[in-house]
Structure 1
Amino acid sequence: MIHGPSLAIGAGIASLVIIVIFFGFGDITNQPELVIEPTPTIQKEGPPKITMNTFLDNGSPILGNTNAPITLVEFGDYQCHFCNVFFHSTEDDILKKYIETGKVRMIFKDFNIIGPDSINASHGAHCADDQELFWEYHDILYSNWTGENNGWASSENLGKFAHEIGLDMDEWTECMVGANHSQVILASNEDAKSLELTGTPSFFIIGPDGKTTRIFGAQPFEVFENIFEAELKK
């Protein structure tokens, strides 16, 4: 079941991505063998085609071994309740068993569906990436989560988080005020729409053969583990 508050205003937030500058699912549905087509050199008319770039572009730097055989892509919103549940209950186990051992690499992509603070938080993370601290900022955001649209991701707090992880504040603030990564954030949201996502978190596991498995919601570690192990045996 899609998290109600997250989905209800999703359509409106999409239109705000380039305007706002600074300021669970109950069941699992796995859909293996999503077809990934070669990236076309010319965009044809009609619905957007799903290519490998749909998964890998417009996101975070890779967490883990860039040559890992399996790729885990998360589409998330920093204000999302179930994204926070995944971060605290599942992500650390994936990190220890699969990412740190070189078996899986991870990419985080923005799907802002809750409110303006979600977009600002995404900007904060991408501006931190300019100083090679994306994942540190990603982690401090989820570590300070207290709800949806209640002010914890205000501009003031985002600045405090940047200071706490040791960012050059002049550079980070200039990036935020200039909304330097608006187009990347917008493009990531468009990628989520092309994949017909309706809530967060949503995951795609891309195996060594390029086939994908889709996972909806903050599923337990065992769900990811079973898929990873099956892919590693191929």
Structure 2
Amino acid sequence: MAQNQPEAGTVVSPSASASAAEPEPGAGESAAPQLSQLARRDPADTAAKGAVDAPLVIIEYADFRCAYCAVFTNEVLPTVLTDYVESGLVRIEWRDAPVLGATSPDAAIAAHAAGAQGLFWEYNAALFATSPTSKTNWDSEALLAIASSIPELDVKAFTDALDDPAHAQRVAREAQESTRIGVASTPTFVVGNTAVRGAQPLAVFREVIAQELAAVGH
């Protein structure tokens, strides 16, 4: 996977389906499956937010050292949550795409350790509020400081959960998935059957969400 990010201001046509992000057909398959089939809709997924049966799923492939991922989280995600997730129209599923260096997986593991307490998204928000960059070093001290900033989080349980192999296995599995489907930069989004690359403005997400909801009769 190329370890690059889109330039600020890059615009992706919301009507363009991203063939580069579609899985390659396997033996006996005549065509790649639709992007929407990447959605898991797992009610036990602590890194997902929204109704399991929401008509539309947005999948975010991201890295916790990615400045553009932080832009999306800080500037766009709050409105998406308020206007679409809380209304039951959209479900958001996070996928780890740790492409920017050695401590990217460590930050992802820490987020899932918080997720063991149902606080993945709180940790996600607290981490991205620090405006990380590809040069940010998410060492254990920094990750613990993020945990300590979340009032609801049990820091002792969080610290113990960092050693749970299930979290490292999940991060590794999702890194492989993002490589397999051709995610070449972060953030990359799969909105229904449309891929959106980069920290696009809210208006782009509104347009894509509207077209994808219309496609499923909403």
TM-score (norm 2): 0.80
Q: Give the letter aligned to residue 86 of structure 1.
A: F
In 2: Cα distance, 1:200 partner to 1:167 partner: 28
CA distance in 2 between partners of 1:146 and 1:229 (Å) = 31
Paired residue secondary structure (1:149): coil
Q: Which residue of 2 aligns with 1:28?
A: 12
CA distance in 2, matches of 1:109, 1:7: 17
Counterparts of 2:72 and 2:117 in 1: how far apart (Å)?
A: 26
State the AA in 2 paired with 1:227.
V
Query: Letter of the aligned partner of 2:107 in structure 1?
Result: A
Measured on the aligned residues, the alpha-carbon RMSD in Å equals 3.0
Q: Give the conservation status (yes or no) of the 8 Å contact 1:79–1:148.
A: yes
User: CA separation of 1:87/1:35 partners in 2, compared to 1, >3 Å: closer, same or farther?
Assistant: closer
Contact kept, 8 Å, 2:4 with 2:185, in 1: the verdict is yes
In the alignment, what sits opposite 1:227? 208
Taking structure 1 as the reference length, what is the TM-score of the superposition?
A: 0.75
The question of whether the paired residues in 1 share the 8 Å contact of 2:63 and 2:96 is answered with yes
Q: 1:27: how far off?
A: 3.2
Residue 89 of structure 1: how far off its partner (Å): 2.1
* 2-structure distance, mates of 1:113, 1:71: 23
Q: Is residue 55–residue 191 contact of structure 1 (8 Å, CA) maintained in 2?
A: no
CA separation of 1:181 and 1:53: change in aligned 2, threshold 3 A:
farther
Q: Determine the structure 1 residue equivalent to 2:145.
A: 160
Equivalent position to 2:103, from 117, 122, 126: 117
**Partner residue, 2:54:** 68
Task: Write out per-residue CA displacement over residues 57-91 of structure 1, whole angstroms, 9 at most, x where no aligned residue.
Answer: 89753212222100000000011011111112211
Aligned partners of 1:200 and 1:217 also within 8 Å: yes
Within the candidate set 3, 7, 29, 2:4 is matched to 7
Instruction: Give the Cα separation in 2 of the matches to 1:123 and 1:63.
Output: 18
Give the direction of change, closer, same or farther, for the CA distance of 1:35–1:203 in structure 2 (3 Å limit).
closer
Displacement of 1:162 in angstroms is 1.3
1 CA distance for matches of 2:174 and 2:66? 16
In the TM superposition, 1:23-62 aligns within 5 A as 24-25=6-7, 26-29=10-13, 30-31=16-17, 54-56=38-40, 60-62=46-48
Structure 1 SS opposite 2:100: coil
CA displacement, residues 80-120 of structure 1 (integer Å, 9 cap, x when unaligned):
01111111221122112111111111011100011122111
Give the secondary-structure state (helix, strand or coil) at the position aligned to 2:17.
coil
Q: Do 2:66 and 2:132's aligned partners in 1 also have CA atoms closer than 8 Å?
A: no
SS of residue in 2 equivalent to 1:56? coil
Partners of 1:134 and 1:53 in 2: CA distance = 23
Q: How much does 1:56 deviate? A: 2.6
Partner residue, 1:131: 117
Distance 1:167 1:53 in 2: 33
More moved, 168-177 vs 187-196: 168-177
Alignment counterpart, residue 128 of structure 2, candidates 126, 142, 149: 142
Q: Is the 8 A contact 1:123 1:182 kept in 2?
A: yes
2: CA distance between counterparts of 1:180 and 1:144?
Answer: 27
In structure 2, stretches of 5+ residues that fail to align are none
Residue segments in structure 1 that go unaligned for 5+ positions in a row: 9-23, 38-42, 207-211
With over 3 angstroms needed to count, the CA separation of the structure-2 counterparts of 1:87 and 1:154, relative to structure 1, is same
Taking every aligned residue pair, what percent have the same amino acid on both sides?
26
> Shift in Å at residue 184 of structure 1?
0.7
